Structure 1
Amino acid sequence: MSQQTRPPPPPPQWALDLNSNPSPKAKSSSIPDPPGYTSPTALSTGKQSKVSKNTPQTPARKPPTTEEMDTLKLKKAWELAIAPAKQLPMNAIGMYMSGNSLQIFSIMMVFMLFKTPVQAVLDMNNTFARFELTEGKDRLLWVKLVYVAMNMLALALGLWKINGMGLLPTTRSDWLAWETAREPLERAYPAFPL
């Protein structure tokens, strides 16, 4: 008995369609192709379509000069320096709404209000490293000073909150109530009469 080998079955139609070139479609609409679009037929034949021949070609953009790059970097650095001040109204409303009682929610909010600015100031050089200028490096110093000032405003908001909660020892508060009132020396009576 000789065994005949069968030829493999033909591939399914979807595989044939996937590997074949797309059929050129007749342009049925009067809408032109968008700028920069190259039709698949122009790619396969290496020719440009009628629409792309009629549209003007955009010139290649020249690379920016170092002065333009420094200006752009400085603008982005200023945006980053002002960013902590943009968060202050939201933080102030959150602090006001959390109340002055000692609860886990208000304590965590105050902790984050202190942690974020301190961490931002400590990591300032890494934050502004990508904005280093080739000329006029002293201009970036002013940006960093504004960044520190904006973070100090956030710390001031935190101090206001913990003062409202009664955690700053600025006045005699309830946790110091065990202390007796002190009398000034001029009103004190001597132990032995003179």
Structure 2
Amino acid sequence: MTSAKQDVPSWVAQLSSPPPAKARIPGIPDPLGYPSSQSQTASGKVSPKQKDPKNQPRKQPTPEEMDTLKLKKAWETALAPAKSLPMTAFMMYMSGNSLQIFSIMMVFMAFKNPLMGLLNVNAAFTRFESESNRDKMLQVKMAYVAMQVLALAVGVWKINAMGLLPTTRSDWLAWEHLREPLERAVPAL
């Protein structure tokens, strides 16, 4: 039988009899949520260390606190499109004004994301809305719409820079009538 014990790999032997726990270093507290094994006595009673307010479970927030928290999160959602505007504008500037696949895709995304955001305004804020904060949510939704319109303005700026907006007189020449000259000049020989 002693030969059978010697044939067992060391890791199998360590699994069956794990090493003893390391001694706790005094002065270094346990991390939050990981109380030491010394905090519970052998009889199962809770030691005085666990009665510390840091180790107590969190109390449930009141409805007023929940409304305040929901309103803060709603404002974060409303202002999120503005946080991506500088990067979007920089990427559009760097993509150039020529008609290439990359610049066309950038313009498509510059219009698609704000339009989808404008269509889904109510869906974006349903999880934050309650009966008590409905009037405050109207302000948040208006700010969200303003941020989406600002993102659309960046897309319009890019289209204008690419020359795709008909803003000059030459863009409308097909609808203009040919001018009749009042005089004709003929060069002399």
TM-score with structure 2 setting the length: 0.74
Which of residues 137, 151, 158 in structure 2 aligns to 1:140? 137
- Preserved CA contact (<8 Å) 2:39 2:50: no
What residue in structure 1 maps to residue 29 of structure 2?
33
Change (3 A) 1:176 1:24: closer
Matched, 1:182 2:186: no
The Cα offsets for residues 8-62 of structure 1, whole Å up to 9 and x where unpaired, read as: x6776644543557635545x333432554334666835579xx64576114332
Matched, 1:92 2:86: no
- Preserved CA contact (<8 Å) 2:97 2:162: yes
Aligned counterparts, 1:163-174, within 5 A: 163-173=160-170
RMSD, aligned α-carbons: 3.4
Matched residue pairs, number? 176
- Preserved CA contact (<8 Å) 1:121 1:151: yes
Which of residues 113, 121, 124 in structure 1 aligns to 2:121? 124
The Cα offsets for residues 101-120 of structure 1, whole Å up to 9 and x where unpaired, read as: 11111111000000010111
Letter in 1 for 2:112: K
Change (3 A) 1:16 1:76: same
The Cα offsets for residues 139-175 of structure 1, whole Å up to 9 and x where unpaired, read as: 11111111111011111111111111111112134x7
What residue in structure 2 maps to residue 62 of structure 1?
59
Q: What is the aligned-residue identity percentage?
A: 51
TM-score with structure 1 setting the length: 0.73
* Higher Cα Rg, which structure: 1
- Preserved CA contact (<8 Å) 2:110 2:155: yes
- Preserved CA contact (<8 Å) 1:88 1:154: yes
What residue in structure 1 maps to residue 100 of structure 2?
103
